[in-house]
Amino acid sequence: MKALCPIILVALGAAVVAPLVMRALHRRAAPAEGPGNGSPAPAAAASQVHEDLTALPVPPPPMAAEPAATQDDWRFPEAWKPPWTRITTRRVYESNVEVLRGGKWINVTAFGQPQAIHDYGVSADSRWLFVWHCDRPPRLLSIYDLRTLARTTRITPGFGGSILWTSHNTLLHSWGCGTNCRMWRIYDARGKTLTERFTTGLSVCPSVRFMVTGPSLYAAGESIRLIELGAGNVLGERKVENIVCIDRVDWSDARQVTVPYLHLAVRDDRDSEREGEVRFPLPQD
């Protein structure tokens, strides 16, 4: 037994020392942390990224996911959410909108009680922010001035649907009211309603400067209208007899908008669908 003691001690020593040696070798072989090696960048570098982001010029807002020549199925553009804005959520139904200023995220909304945010968006000139939220129905629409980070108004639209800023710094609100039924309303930056109308179909141009409304079914009996999205004024109107519906609106020409449509032509006591189109010139100022 005495002869085995040195052997046992040596084995125990090796079991203790070997892991320490392997750990030291692993540390020596590991690359230093930093950008470009898969490791997170230091906090100072991350802060610099934020500073650079706030210094960048504001890009033109992607008002439509793809500025296509035609709008399929009355697609409503999404509100612009630039990379220097975000929603933070602590718990379910406890969210706020933050903006990046000077490398720091600032809570703009700072709701006093938990709120669910349904949508938010920034105006094309980066001055205004709308936040659509509620703690219980109905939804509230709050508007903030991003120069001062102060809330300027809060209203209750009374309907769901979609909201986004137009290129005129007004808000376009559209919601469904049944099959082939659509309402739309325009607010100014202070939340005042400028106009409200009914349509059965609408198409918004990619720049969110103009909109075409018209019938989406034969029974509508609706004129085709070109509307500017500042105060909602009608720039052009055409009444087509026996119109069935307007088709995909073509916004590809900056000088004019083309609105194809189907209408009924009666010949020999038989109805047949015929194609036609209406063109409206677009203001160039």
What residue spans of 130-264 are helical by DSSP H? none
Residue ranges of the domains in the chain? 76-165, 189-285
Residue 215 φ then ψ, to 5°: -75, 145
Q: Please give the residue that has the higher pLDDT: either 61 or 106.
A: 106
The candidate with the shortest Cα–Cα distance to 206, out of 282, 261, 142, is 282
Least confident of 17-26, 119-128, 140-149: 17-26
CB atoms within 10 A of CB 117: 19
Helices (H) and strands (E) in the chain, counts: 2, 18
Q: What is the mean pLDDT of residues 77-87?
A: 93
Order of strands, sheet of 256-267, starting from the edge strand that comes earlier in the sequence:
243-246, 256-267, 270-281
pLDDT of residue 180: 81
Rounded to a whole number, what is the distance in angstroms from the first to the last CA of the chain? 104
pLDDT of residue 228: 97
CB atoms within 10 A of CB 240: 19
Mean confidence (pLDDT) of the chain: 78
Q: pTM for the complete prediction?
A: 0.73
pLDDT of residue 15: 52
pLDDT of residue 9: 46
Predicted confidence (pLDDT) at residue 17 exceeds the cutoff of 50: no
- Residue 65 is which amino acid? A
Q: Please give the residue that has the higher pLDDT: either 281 or 53.
A: 281
Calpha distance 150→143 (Å, rounded): 9
Predicted confidence (pLDDT) at residue 13 exceeds the cutoff of 70: no
Predicted confidence (pLDDT) at residue 129 exceeds the cutoff of 60: yes
pLDDT of residue 34: 36
Which residues are CB-contacts of 271 (< 8 A; sequence separation ≥ 6)? 264, 265
pLDDT of residue 31: 38
pLDDT confidence of 266, banded at 50, 70, 90?
low
Which residues are CB-contacts of 79 (< 8 A; sequence separation ≥ 6)? 119, 120, 121, 122, 130, 163, 164, 165
Calpha distance 131→129 (Å, rounded): 7
User: Do 209 and 228 meet the contact criterion of CB atoms below 8 Å apart?
Assistant: yes
Q: What is the mean pLDDT of residues 14-36?
A: 43
Which residues are CB-contacts of 77 (< 8 A; sequence separation ≥ 6)? 63, 64, 65, 164, 204, 206, 208
Q: What is the pLDDT of residues 191-238, one digit of tens each?
A: 999 999 999 889 999 999 999 998 887 767 889 999 999 999 999 999
